Chain A
Amino acid sequence: MQHRKMMKMIPLLALLAVPLAHADTVDDLLKGYQAQGAGPFSAEKGKAMWSEQHASTEGGAARSCAACHGENLTSTGKHAKTGKAIEPMAPSANPQRFTDAAKVEKWFKRNCTWTVGRECTPQEKGDFLSYLRKQ
């Protein structure tokens, strides 16, 4: 009986955990970057980098984070090439953001490579996350 009651509690606990999940994940990620020698992190720098324009090596329009995700982080973005809708970046509008460390790293790798032409440094990633987590 006791066991069954506890089982019933699990979804409830999971519900409570969601708003905190991104905070935990981001903290862990930031710690990881610090372990690689980065820090302290600046949300201001992250914000500036978000809108920074990068000339494309293949020609075509300049690239930036905002080109796909938009300047307004609480609204839906649009993939520059395919037009696919991109869920809001701000955790306040999209609680699923930054809850999965592997996903965060995957997208950093893919999107920094496309936008800036190289992978982002731990310092840059830390600055980005410091800015984005507060949105």
Chain B
Amino acid sequence: MQGNSVRVWDLPLRLFHWLLVAMFALAWWSNGHAQHLDLHIFAGYTILALLLFRLAWGFTGTHHARFRSFAYGKRTLLAYLRDLRSARQPHYLGHNPAGAWAIFTMLTLLLAIAVSGLIVLGGEEGHGPLAGFVSLESGIAWHESHAWLAWAMLLLVVVHLAGVVVESLLHRDNLLAAMISGNKRVRDAQPQVGNRRVVAGVMAVAWLGAALATVLPWYRADADHPYQPFPGTTLPDNATWRSECGGCHQPYHPQLLPKRSWQLMLKQQEDHFGEALGLDEATIAELLQFHETNAADHPLMEAAWYINHSLRRDETPLRITETPYWRKTHAAIPEERWRDPQVNGRGNCAACHSDAERNTFSDAAMRLPRPNR
């Protein structure tokens, strides 16, 4: 196409677009890796910040960035889709009506994803602005909505990409190049928008600062000072539990098994996994009381909720490693890793869970040690 090249998308808008792409990809990838929860949260906060920026930029940005410039009605959208292949089609320098509808839908969906993410973070992990306002149960319930919304967003991304391809081919208008350079070729003279470099600079510096603050602590951490970006809640403690149970193994918190398991275990104290504990009545009574009050039946953390809900009512496991939830979450770990001297068996939670001493088993506190070679 002959003609002049004019700037259509200002720099902050392009930065918004590509940071959003990168952060959505990072959020998607880190979702499958619980130990990268901090990256997932970082991506989520960035997306929320980008959305707030976009909302403001929709009123204060340059011409084609303003919502008013692409707020097309339903009729315009239908006419655009009907006349897609005809010559009558007017050329849209900014967003075309179909693109505009996709954008408003994606912005709304992303906002819903970000907010539902904050609800999950507050409920399940006890962090973020909604911590304390959302119950553990609500957090877990919202987790699923958060995931479905993300899938819907992925579907829209596909639709958006298809639209970009169609528009680029049909109207010989390279939309991808335009979103990178900011420029489009036009036949007749058109006013071009400013670049707003300062705003883009502030955005870039703010994002880089946040990225560094997220990543740097990992490099300062070592084996003795593990970095825990999202430490879990502080669970109820008991000195007798610590000294008696902690005498032979790490003290597993009552939260990790239901009440009926602890009752059976303490009743069978003369055959505690092959060992006679020989605890006196007063000690047993105190341990029983502590375990009954704080068992998984009343979950105070995510892992406890899942352990309890994975069990049938008639199941009374005596080992945490026998619970379906434990088996499911550890199924991918090959047998030889358990025999690795660094790991030292399934009972040594601390080999991978840096918060094992606190018994919180937060997603973000999980680290697989490097295999010994």
Contact = CB atoms under 8 A, between A and B. Distances in A.
B344 A110 contact: no
B93 to A, nearest CB: 69
Interface residues of A, number: 11
Interface string A63-98: 000000000000000010111100000000000000
A11 to B, nearest CB: 20
Given A82-B249, A84-B249, A113 B344 contact: no
11 contacts: A82-B249, A82-B347, A83-B345, A83-B347, A83-B348, A84-B249, A106-B279, A109-B276, A110-B275, A110-B278, A114-B276
Contacts of B347: 82-83
A81 B247 CA distance: 13
Contact of A79 (B249, B276, B277): B249
Contacts of A79: 248-249
A133 B273 CA distance: 31
Contacts of B274: 58, 114
Contacts of A106: 278-279
**Chain A interface helix/strand/loop/mixed:** loop
Interface residues of B, number: 14
B250 interface: yes
**Chain B interface helix/strand/loop/mixed:** loop
Interface of A: 58, 79, 81-84, 106, 109-110, 113-114
A109 B276 CA distance: 9
Interface string B277-296: 11100000000000000000
Contacts of A114: 274-276
A113 to B, nearest CB: 5
**Which 7 residue pairs spanning A and B have beta carbons closest together?**
A82-B249, A83-B344, A109-B278, A113-B276, A84-B249, A114-B275, A110-B278
Contacts of B249: 79, 82, 84
B177 to A, nearest CB: 60
Interface string B315-352: 00000000000000000000000000000110110000
In this complex, the member of B248, B274, B279 whose beta carbon has the largest number of chain A beta carbons within 10 angstroms is B248
A98 to B, nearest CB: 16
A25 B163 CA distance: 84
Nearest to B244: A106
